Amino acid sequence: MIIVKIGGGSGINIRGAIEDLAALEDKFVIVHGANALRDKLAEDLGRPKQVLTSAKGYTSVYSDENLLDVMMMAYAGLRNKRIVEMCHQMGINAVGLSGLDGKVVQGRRNKGIRVHRDGKTKIVRDYSGKPKAVNKPFLDLLLDNGYIPVLTVPIIDEQNAAINTENDDVVRVLQASLKADTVINLIEAPGFLEDKEDETSVIAEIPASQLEAREEQVDGRMKRKMLAVRKLFEHGATRVIIADGRIEHPVADALAGKGTIIQ
Amino acid sequence: MIIVKIGGGSGINIRGAIEDLAALEDKFVIVHGANALRDKLAEDLGRPKQVLTSAKGYTSVYSDENLLDVMMMAYAGLRNKRIVEMCHQMGINAVGLSGLDGKVVQGRRNKGIRVHRDGKTKIVRDYSGKPKAVNKPFLDLLLDNGYIPVLTVPIIDEQNAAINTENDDVVRVLQASLKADTVINLIEAPGFLEDKEDETSVIAEIPASQLEAREEQVDGRMKRKMLAVRKLFEHGATRVIIADGRIEHPVADALAGKGTIIQ
């Protein structure tokens, strides 16, 4: 079993990744993002995302109903269905699902963020949260009958409401349940870089034991990504490959040893 | 088995329909539209639909890639996922699917339309077509395991491309396969009206044998709808109910005898 996370950056060669997957003998599950597409759609609709600043100074996207609507359009609608279409064109019998469908990815909604507003401290609660479990019987039902799940956000919370979450966290709960041999994470870089300004500085191998140290070395999205990778090992991952999603054969090259292999 | 078609008009009480369905003992499948939502989205994005006029003078929507993108966002994305969310909130274990997913609704792409352009006659081919079959094993797999399919366009053609089609035609191929006892069609009117200007002129019952005559009586969308109903009887329907989707209990009232019953 392989889990492939297709990042939501605009530079990812989705068609190439699917072409590679079609040639594999292993079973696999796809998890995909649509970041760039969502931001473009929100902008085109004149509904830019709002950012909350917590009382402690941390910023986060404010996932109100409007943002969830846009996510449903970009992730579960356009991107998911075009990926499913490509899959069928390459002979992969794909079924596209948001976490809501058959409650396939279940999460817990965040309690809220403490913010200062108009001189007062208030708790603002949005539709965001963390995935906690997957509906494994449903995934097995699909996989055992020859259907390949293509998963994306939003997911469903304990009150059956749609919530936003990180696809990297979806991969984590999926791994906890499916125990894939290999998790491939396709990003817009050639792998984990020793120097983020230098694309030739890819580190070919990172022992899982060094992940915490590597996390200290980076910041922003990459730091979050490395934390997500570290958690994968807590859930029994044996091999995680961070690989370039922009090249002609993103998956085939990753499996052939390009990118950063963590084990 | 009941098939419920939830029309895509902005006045349909979707929540009420789902609440009613949650109380039923029968199995059911939902097919839904998102017409009004799609038009609004296309307008907000500044991508209004284009209309083709054939050499014979008929008009039709030009379903180019851009229109399909907008459909994926409105039908398979926002509307489908919000319906699935509502279903779970009412205790219905819903799985939202476009016709692409697991190739659940398979069609044939139209050959093209002959148009006059710049003084020449040309064939213009878009991404539209007619549904021909459903993936019954997949629907049975879901239904037999307690999952309720919530279906919408686009569907998949013989080359595995996404194509636009009428949801009424999707209901027809679904009925040909599932042989539902009852098909409920929720629209923005109290049923089939003797006088379309008079909402009190609902015809309570139409024998299936009189459908052709009733078709002659109306025009526009209602004519197309009545043709679709007539075809349902060719596929073994025993009862079709055209009912008001705007009221508090659209499905419960339809089953209790409100609207127009055709049998």
pLDDT (mean) for B134-141: 98
Q: What share of chain A has pLDDT > 90, as a percent?
A: 83
The string of pLDDT tens digits covering residues B108-123 is: 999 998 888 888 889 9
Q: What is the mean pLDDT of residues B197-211?
A: 94
Sheet holding A28-32, edge to edge: A94-98, A148-152, A28-32, A2-6, A182-187, A239-244, A260-262, A205-206
| Over residues A105-134, mean pLDDT | 93
Q: How far is B246 from chain A (nearest CA, A)?
A: 23
Whether pLDDT at B76 is above 90: yes
Can you give the length of chain A in residues? Answer: 263
Handedness of CA B178, B182, B183, B184 (dihedral sign): negative
d(C-alpha B126, C-alpha B248), whole Å = 39
Chains A and B form CB pairs within 8 A to the count of: 118
CB contact under 8 A, A94 and B81: no
Q: How far is CA A192 from CA A18, A156, A222, A244, in A?
A: 23, 32, 9, 10
ipTM: 0.96
- Whether the CB-CB separation of B229 and B166 falls below 8 Å is answered with no
* Per-residue pLDDT band at A49 (split at 50, 70, 90): confident
Cα distances from B106 to residues A116, B150, B163, in angstroms, run 54, 16, 10
Spatial contact of B35 and B8, defined as CB atoms under 8 Å apart: yes
- Checking if the pLDDT of B61 tops 90, the result is no
Q: Which residue carries 């906690």 as its tokens?
A: A132
Encode pLDDT of A174-189 as tens digits: 999 999 999 999 999 9
What chain B holds in terms of domains, given with CATH numbers, is 2-42+63-106+132-262 (3.40.1160.10)
Asked if A76's CB is within 8 angstroms of B81's CB, the reply is yes
Residue A49, burial from CB neighbour count under 10 angstroms (0-12, 13-18, 19+): middle
User: From the CA of A130, how many Å to the nearest CA of chain B?
Assistant: 17
pLDDT score at A115:
87
Look at residue A220 in the predicted model and tell me its pLDDT: 79
Name the residue among A96, A100, A162 with its Cβ closest to that of B101: A96
Residue B115: its pLDDT value, please?
A: 86
**Nearest Cβ partner for B73 among A73, A96, A162:** A73
Closest-CA residue in chain B for A104?
B95
Q: Does B15 touch chain A (CB under 8 A)?
A: no
Tell me which residue has tokens 């919370």: A157
Please indicate if any CB of chain A lies within 8 Å of the CB of B102.
yes
What local confidence, expressed as pLDDT, does residue B93 receive? 98
pTM: 0.96
